[in-house]
């Protein structure tokens, strides 16, 4: 199972717009991705409600994972892309279309 750990750097964490941008990126990846804080159960990262309900704040570590089934190269590529999104240097999640 491909797994990546990163930090949420968006100033507001994964709430409202930032969460929506993240969830959209997960859905666009075509991969079943889960997200979890260390020591907490994972939730489906394709669900805006699930992501927002977990209170992923700025600076919190998260683990992204995909199941063992399917194309592991595509899953690893999707996770790497999501890690880049969550840990962008600007500290803000950016819309893939270039909007914040």
Instruction: Kindly state whether residue 81 falls inside one of the protein's structural domains.
Output: yes
Is residue 47, in this structure, part of any structural domain at all?
Answer: yes
> Would residue 96 count as lying in a domain?
no
CATH number at residue 37: 3.30.1340.10
Is residue 91 one of the residues assigned to a domain? Answer: no
pTM (predicted TM-score): 0.85
Residue 98 has pLDDT above 70, yes or no: no
In a domain, 97, yes or no: no
Answer yes or no: is pLDDT of 99 > 80.
Answer: no
Give pLDDT, residue 1.
80
Answer yes or no: is 64 within a domain.
yes
- Which residue in the list 6, 15, 57, 87 is annotated as catalytic? 15
Euclidean distance between CA atoms 4 and 45, whole angstroms: 13
What is the tens place of the pLDDT at every residue in 2-24?
A: 899 999 998 888 988 899 999 99
**Core vs surface per residue 60-90: b (16+ CB within 10 A) or e:** eebebbbeeeeeeeebeebbebbbebbeeee
82 within some domain: yes
Answer whether residue 92 is part of any domain. Answer: no
Task: Respond yes or no: is residue 15 known to be catalytic.
Answer: yes
Range of the domain at 27: 3-86
Average pLDDT of every residue of the chain? 87
Structural domains in the chain (count): 1
């Amino acid at each position: 199972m491909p797994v990546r750990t990163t930090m949420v750097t968006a100033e507001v964490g994964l709430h409202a717009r930032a969460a929506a941008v993240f969830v959209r990126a997960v859905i666009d990846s075509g991969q079943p991705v889960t997200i979890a804080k260390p020591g907490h159960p994972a939730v489906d990262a394709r669900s805006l409600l699930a992501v927002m309900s977990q209170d992923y704040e700025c600076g919190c570590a998260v683990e992204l994972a995909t199941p063992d089934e399917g194309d592991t190269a595509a899953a690893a590529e999707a996770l790497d892309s999501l890690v880049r999104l969550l840990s962008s240097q600007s500290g803000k999640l950016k819309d893939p279309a270039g909007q914040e």
